[in-house]
Amino acid sequence: MKKLHTPVLLSEVIHYLNIKPDGFYIDCTLGDGGHSFEIFKRLNKKGLLISIDQDKYAIDFVKEYYKKDIKGNWIIVKDNFANIDKIANQYNRRPDGILMDLGLSSRQLEDSHNRGFSYLEDKEALDMRMDEELGVTAKDLLTALSENELTEIFLKYGEEKYAKKIAKAIKKENTNINTVGDLTRLVYRVVPAAHQSSKNPSRRVFQALRIVVNDEINSLKIGIDKSFKLLNKKGRLCVISFHSLEDRIVKNYFNNLVESGEGMLLTKEIIAPTDQEVRDNPRSASAKLRAIEKI
Backbone angles phi, psi at 43, to 5 degrees: -100, 145
269 CB-contact burial (10 Å; exposed 0-12 / middle 13-18 / buried 19+): exposed
Residues 208 and 243 in one domain: no
Residues 76 and 150 in one domain: no
- Asked if the structure places residue 113 within a domain, the reply is no
Q: Which residues of 191-212 are buried (b: 16+ CB within 10 A; e: fewer)?
A: beeeeeeeebbbbbbbbbbbbb
Q: What is the mean pLDDT of the chain?
A: 93
CATH of residue 256? 3.40.50.150
pLDDT tens, residue by residue, 1-32: 445 678 999 999 999 999 999 999 999 999 99
> Can you count the helices (H) and strands (E) in the chain?
13, 7
Residues 18 and 104 in one domain: yes
pLDDT tens, residue by residue, 73-113: 999 999 999 999 999 999 999 999 999 999 876 667 666 67
Domain limits for position 156: 135-213
CATH of residue 158? 1.10.150.170
Asked if 288 contacts 272 with a C-beta cutoff of 8 angstroms, the reply is yes
Residues 20 and 95 in one domain: yes
* Three-state secondary structure call for residue 93: coil
pLDDT score of 121: 87
- Among 213, 228, 262, where does a domain finish? 213
Judge whether residue 136 has pLDDT over 60: yes
pLDDT score of 192: 87
Which strand (E) or helix (H) includes residue 86?
helix 84-88
* Three-state secondary structure call for residue 158: helix
pLDDT score of 194: 60
- Asked if the structure places residue 115 within a domain, the reply is no
pLDDT score of 104: 76
CA–CA distance from 197 to each of 41, 72, 117, 201, 248 (Å)? 42, 49, 20, 7, 25
Q: Which of 112, 107, 144, 110 is nearest to 125 (CA)?
A: 112
- Asked if the structure places residue 120 within a domain, the reply is no
Residues 39 and 155 in one domain: no
Asked if 236 contacts 294 with a C-beta cutoff of 8 angstroms, the reply is yes
